[in-house]
A and B are shown apart, each in its own frame.
Chain A
Amino acid sequence: MGLLKAITDAIKEKAKEEIVQYLKKIAEENAAKPAAGNKPQERHDHKPQEQRHDKPQERRDERKPYPPQERQGYDPNNKPDRNDKYDNRFDKYADKYNDKFNAPKYDNGNKYDNRNDRNDKYDNRGDRYEKNDKYDNGNKYDGGNKYDSRNDRPAYPDQKPLPKPEPRPEHRPEPKPEFKQAERPPLPKPEVKPAPAPVAAPVPVPQPRPEIRHLPPKKEEIILPLNEEPIEKVQMVVRGDDIILPYDLARLIQPLPVNEYSLYVKLYLYSYGIRKNYGYVGAGLKKSIGIDELDAAEFGRLLERLDKRGLVSLEKISEHQSTYILYLPFDEKTMKRVEEKKREEEEPPAIPAPKTEPRPAAAKNEPRPAPRGKEKEKEKTKEPEKGRDKGKGREPEKGKGKAKEPEHPAPKGRGGRGRSVSAPEPEKKQPVYEELPDEPMIPGRSNIELDDDGLMKAYRTFVSMEIDKAKMRVGRSNFDKIYMEAVKYIDKKYGFKVLSDQERFREYLTQYYISAFDIPNYDNWKKTKG
């Protein structure tokens, strides 16, 4: 762009110079004309027309076959007849021709006598006309390439200082970023940032401090157990619509933080809802106890804290699955240990009522099954004594559950826990209390005073335990496969909608498990129960 601009400027300047020169020449010519003023004024007036008709006249000169000198000796009388008209016709112009060719030359503004001289005048024309000189100047003729001849022409002095690089820097992008950079610093953005920083600085400073303070306690957090009694899997029978929270338990969990307290109470109520104190940990449990919105991590943390406090026993059965056992004060009237129940089922002849009487005592005297693993087994030998000691201290103050006390003024020992034992020498008195006729109240026994509903509930508990056993027997992966087959079977047999109906699905699934694991049906089980 700069180059083009420079070229156009140069051309303009040249044109100006040529125009000035041309005007000067014209002025000189005009000045010279009055000086030569021998010519009549009329001629001078017609000069432009003659100049205008220079070319036609020249052509006529070329066409003229005879020079005017030969024409001087011409005799009009000897002309041929056939040309009479022609000659007569041009007679009136004859004077003019004679004047032009024969009369002495006058200065008609054309200083050049012949055409070639006049053409020489144009050799001095400006550069803009030089393109036509290729025909006149043989040395410069380059075969018709006029541009090459232009390049050969000498450079004008005005062109040399043409500042080609000067316009470029004006259009170069370099100054633009400089301009922007110059604008950027005054922008308020960078200045605003530091401004709030000092304002916000004091705020975040205290924030990280409490975080730092919180972290070490988390690592060094020591949670003392509230409960040292063993946690066992139990199944219970709920009579009526009431769920009893023993006073001892209420006082035991009272010092818990709100989150843990609420979680424990929710699990407690849920356990009575499902009639067992154990199950899987997961989203299903969260949803069931009504804390579906709670974060899974927080839920796991709370469970771990409850585990450390001895109120929940967590057991990891796989990478992604774990089970829990909730601590419940054992009540022989409404609860049954799962291990005992299994033993009873393994020994069917011992189940009948008359023979089962000594069993609870024997079972209570025997070391308990370890719900928490080996550690629990070690504790068992000590815990019964501890539990009894605890029971000694608590019994006189609080007693047991409010609803249970009147029914059993002298509640039997709770197996190894011995909470209900108030005597200072529980080991000696245990058999005495155990022989008391409270066994019919234990669920799952054949002599339980249960109506059909109660019996059905007992059967369901039995089935649930059988499924538990089968799961342990076949292994988790195989059980999952069986579950998948059960789902497919239910879908085929009962339709797809059943899969969405939780109650019906559960019912059909239980039926499938009953048939798959050879669990006795209700009638057979009832017969065995007598």
Chain B
Amino acid sequence: MEFRIFMKSLNDIDVKLMLCKSNFQWKLLAEKYEEASRKIEAFYGEKMPSELVDALGRVRLQLVEKKGQLPPEDILV
């Protein structure tokens, strides 16, 4: 049951990331991802299911790619 909840939270982030259009939204999603990751690690510890590990890596990669696609408001220019 917890596994499904965790997977759903990660999938939600994945879906919402497709609609993300600003750095502010991205930041919120990143915070959600970090919270989900922290909960998963706290729940499973070292014995984290491989599917969750894959999902975490996938969502993280997509978050990073999205960050790169967003307008670079953080640069000094």
Q: Across the interface, which residues of B come within 8 angstroms of A513, CB to CB?
A: 75
Q: Across the interface, which residues of B come within 8 angstroms of A510, CB to CB?
A: 75-76
Q: Across the interface, which residues of A come within 8 angstroms of B75, CB to CB?
A: 467, 483, 506, 509-510, 513
B36 part of interface (Cβ distance < 8 Å):
no
Contact of B64 among A460, A467, A491 (CB under 8 A): A491
B contact residues, total (Cβ < 8 Å):
22
Roughly how many angstroms separate A509 CA and B68 CA in the complex, as a whole number?
A: 12
Roughly how many angstroms separate A321 CA and B69 CA in the complex, as a whole number?
A: 14
The proximity string for B residues 26-66 relative to A, scoring 1 for CB distances below 8 Å and 0 otherwise, is 01001101100000000000000000000000001001110
Tell me whether A496 and B34 are in contact (CB under 8 A).
yes
Q: Which of A74-82, A281-289, A407-415 sits within the interface? A: A281-289
Closest to B66 in A: A487
Tell me whether A467 and B71 are in contact (CB under 8 A).
no
Q: How many A-B residue pairs have CB under 8 A?
A: 67
Contact of A500 among B31, B60, B65 (CB under 8 A): B31
The proximity string for A residues 461-505 relative to B, scoring 1 for CB distances below 8 Å and 0 otherwise, is 001100110010000000010011111100100001101101001
Closest to A284 in B: B73
Chain A: interface secondary structure? helix
Closest to A470 in B: B77
Q: Across the interface, which residues of B come within 8 angstroms of A497, CB to CB?
A: 34
Tell me whether A467 and B68 are in contact (CB under 8 A).
no
Interface residues on A, range: 20 to 34
Tell me whether B76 and A467 are in contact (CB under 8 A).
yes
Most chain B CB atoms below 10 A, which of A287, A464, A483, A486: A483
Given A468-B77, A471-B77, A488-B68, 10 more A-B residue pairs with CB atoms under 8 Å apart are A480-B68, A483-B75, A484-B65, A485-B68, A486-B68, A488-B65, A496-B34, A496-B64, A500-B34, A506-B75
Could you tell me which B residues sit within 8 Å of A by CB distance?
22-24, 27, 30-31, 33-34, 60, 63-65, 67-69, 71-77
Q: List 9 A-B contacts (CB under 8 A).
A: A282-B71, A283-B24, A480-B68, A483-B72, A483-B75, A496-B33, A496-B34, A496-B63, A509-B74
